[in-house]
Amino acid sequence: MLICTRHAPVDMKSVSRAVYRVGLFLAFLMCGISLPTLSGLPVFPFSLIVSRGMDLIYRIDLSAIFLCSSIILYRSELFKKYWQVLFAFFVASFAINLQASSALLDLPTTTMNGKVLAMLSSTLSVFIPIIALTRISGGSMASIFLKKGKIKLGLVVGLIGFFVFAASSMYAATYLFQGRDLTLERVVSWTPWLLVIVMANGLREEPLYRGLFLKKLEPLLGPNSSNLLQALIFSLSHTVAGVGAVQYTPFTAVFVLITFLLGLALGYVMQRTDSLIGPVLFHAGTDIPIFIAVFSNLP
């Protein structure tokens, strides 16, 4: 007795769409992990090709490539839908270049006041170009989540995240970020500086890694893949946490994994609340252990 089995026909259109999205995802991922190199912190595979002597050339060329690509795509009827993503990468590269240039101010970073001033300078050098270039390109502030959105939900989620991380900050600072001689009295005395520096860092990184990209990626990749992409870029950019002069943890792999999970959570909150407010507050809380450890190691 012969048993005939029928196989459902392969939907080639679905396969083609899946291959297209995977290819697009990988292309945007490569664009994203090219960005940390602009700060002189190469991430693989760019660490193999960018030497110290090539640093300035790389900075100029990468921004120029993103800008020119976005202009070419904008003028093409067939590929116009991609131009905003490439322009967002240009804006990010321009802001990171400006941030790296702000280091030339040579602000003292051996005191808490110096750390705070350096962070404020860095934040302004990123935040202002993002707003200005978004306006120049015809984008709205809503396109980068600079709006109230669901403000009640954003405040609730953001403040819960902030206080949860604040409550566990001394433990995390000691065991993950090499904090020294931490006592509640010392940490409380640092509160004014801590609040300014963590809020400034949240306001710097949330627009740069998520606000610029999520709404531009979603029509091409969908909300879930867009969130996954930004979380990967965000976490890979933190692989530099365990190397060089900026080292602040010996547990790089663990920290990158934590950062990836936080990136997913922050992106989801941004998508759900349609605003930067919740993610900035939440992000600020996650930075408290890092800066407690940094302050504890100041001379």
* Mean of the per-residue pLDDT values of the chain: 88
pLDDT-derived band at 1, boundaries 50, 70, 90: very low
Give residue-wise pLDDT tens across range 65-114.
Answer: 999 999 999 999 999 999 999 999 999 999 988 887 766 666 777 889 99
Q: Output the pLDDT for position 239.
A: 78
Rounded CA-CA distance 23/225 in Å is 12
Mean local confidence (pLDDT), 277-286: 97
In this model, does residue 291 exceed pLDDT 50? yes
Q: Output the pLDDT for position 97.
A: 87
pTM, to two decimals: 0.90
pLDDT-derived band at 24, boundaries 50, 70, 90: very high
Enumerate the domain spans of the chain: 24-296
Least confident of 9-23, 180-194, 218-232, 270-284: 9-23
CA atoms within 13 A on the CB side of 207: 29
Mean local confidence (pLDDT), 279-286: 97
In this model, does residue 42 exceed pLDDT 80? no
Q: Of how many residues is the chain composed?
A: 299
pLDDT-derived band at 160, boundaries 50, 70, 90: very high
